[in-house]
Amino acid sequence: MNQIQGKYIDNLRCEMVHPSSTVIRTDAPKDNRGEGKFFSPTDLVAAALGSCMLTIIGIRARDKGINIGNPDFEIVKHMQSNPRKISKIEVKIKFFSELNEDERAYLENEGRKCPVALSISEEIEQDISFEYA
């Protein structure tokens, strides 16, 4: 269990402190009365999906001895207005190392089963794509 401490700072901003003392601040986005100077809470949800997928892919690759190099990801978060919530998260994962078809299929399948992907409401569309060198 990780216990994260959080507080409202001011001006639609919050600060969270991880047990490791790492600090994350959030800000309301510009389109919702904030200044957009930090990640919004919904940005963190979207970013969590991409980073969780790559973390699980990294774990599974390590377990199987697959060299994935340093893949990266891009996230596009779509919001709906009434009610205001995330409607869709697009994740594009890019691999720069050579992977065969079996490795690709295995890692894609494992990434799609990451804890964040499984925890996000089924009402939020997850559009996941993979690109290879």
For position 2, what pLDDT does the model report? 81
For position 133, what pLDDT does the model report? 86
The verdict on 53 and 92 lying in the same domain is: yes
Say if CB 13 and CB 36 are below 8 A apart: no
Residue 68 contacts by C-beta under 8 Å, 6 or more apart in sequence?
Answer: 57, 58, 61, 95, 97, 99, 107
Q: How many residues does the chain have?
A: 133
Alpha helices in 1-133 (DSSP H): 41-64, 101-112, 115-119
Token pair in block for residue 70: 């340093």
Token pair in block for residue 51: 């980073």
3 C-beta neighbours (distance < 10 Å), count:
7
The verdict on 57 and 5 lying in the same domain is: no
How many structural domains is the chain composed of?
A: 2
Instruction: With 0.75 as the threshold, say if the pTM is over it.
Output: yes
Residues 28-72: tens digit of each pLDDT: 999 999 999 999 999 999 999 999 999 999 999 999 999 999 999
The verdict on 19 and 67 lying in the same domain is: no
Q: Structural domain of residue 35, as residue ranges?
A: 1-39
The verdict on 5 and 27 lying in the same domain is: yes
